[in-house]
Amino acid sequence: MATLDVVIDAFVASREFDKATLARLRFWSEQFGTKELVDITPEDVDNALVVLAERGRLQPLRNQPTQASGKPLSGATINRYITQLGSVYRYARRLRLLPRAHVPPTKGIEKAPEPPNPERYLRPDEVERLIKVARLLDQRWGRLPALITLAFHTGLRVGNLTALRWKDVDLEAGTLKVNKTKNGRPLVAPLSASALAELVELSAQDPERLVFEGRNGRPYSFRRLWAKVCTEAGLPGRNFHQLRHGCGSAMAQAGIGQAQIMAIMGHRTLSASARYMHHSTDDKRAVVQKVFG
């Protein structure tokens, strides 16, 4: 068996993480680092969350203990810490470091209450700004403009996009295949002319290569560049998943029905697609003026 700190070190070395993620991982390493993964209990996690709430927001410092800023943590932030520990256990399971029947200590942990948040999404004009800035900042490889375009035009999750291999892309048919979506089903996504053109520019001969390949054949790590692009485009703090929401919203506002949005975006239920059936204030004003003058 392995200790938590050893697994976290391996997890951090496996890919590039942002500062907030590193802070969360460091916290768990400090709490349980020398304990075996199988020895950490839900009670341990609950007690650590009490410590976390008392310390407040943590400052990530490489190779140093995390430091408390004194700022209170929101429910959403506490929930991210729980989720982050769960991701370490999933990583350990992939490495076969856990017994098959092992239940992670995060299972059943009650999440902190979060106030309802209006769904944020990126509008088409905002996406155009992001792509324009990405072309300027990623001139060498041109992967980020393509990734942004595909995310917005297909509505696929970033994990599906970064896992794509060229064997999954049919440039002649103008489609790409996702072998397993979040709902467990495969999905064939049609490509817009713009998305297809981006892929043609990137196309590689080896069908096993990742479409969005990073260093040493690993999935493309783009988070830092994305944050910079958002800032330069005047859209700081926007997250990549808002491109997926933007895709659904753009289709809804174009009059596409829920069932079609559900099929295109790989939703299992109509309620998942219903979130995009909203309208801006201008849209609603236009309807009122049309009906009532």
Q: Lowest-confidence range among 36-50, 66-80, 186-200? A: 66-80
90 band by pLDDT with thresholds 50, 70 and 90? very high
Tracing tokens 């979040």 back to the chain, one arrives at: 182
Extents of the domains making up the chain:
4-94, 124-284
Task: Note whether 220 and 212 are within 8 A (CB).
Answer: yes
- Rounded to two decimals, the pTM is 0.57
Tell whether the model's pLDDT for residue 179 goes beyond 60: yes
- The span from the CA of 114 to the CA of 109, in Å, is 15
- The span from the CA of 68 to the CA of 232, in Å, is 30
Tell whether the model's pLDDT for residue 10 goes beyond 60: yes
- The span from the CA of 293 to the CA of 274, in Å, is 29
- The span from the CA of 203 to the CA of 209, in Å, is 10
258 band by pLDDT with thresholds 50, 70 and 90? confident
- The span from the CA of 86 to the CA of 95, in Å, is 14
Query: φ and ψ at 3, to 5 degrees?
Result: -85, 160
- The span from the CA of 155 to the CA of 242, in Å, is 10
* DSSP code, position 120: P
Class of the domain covering 124-284 = mainly alpha
- The span from the CA of 167 to the CA of 54, in Å, is 50
Select the more confidently predicted residue: 162 or 108.
162
Average pLDDT over residues 161-189: 86
Average pLDDT over residues 260-273: 68
Q: What residue spans of the chain are helical by DSSP H?
A: 4-14, 19-32, 42-55, 75-94, 124-137, 143-154, 158-162, 193-202, 223-232, 242-253, 258-265, 270-274, 281-292
Tell whether the model's pLDDT for residue 37 goes beyond 90: yes
- Which one, of 153, 151, 145, lies nearest residue 129 by Cα? 145
Classified as helix, coil or strand, 177 is strand
- The span from the CA of 130 to the CA of 179, in Å, is 28
Torsion from C-alpha of 166, 172, 173, 175, nearest 10 degrees: 30
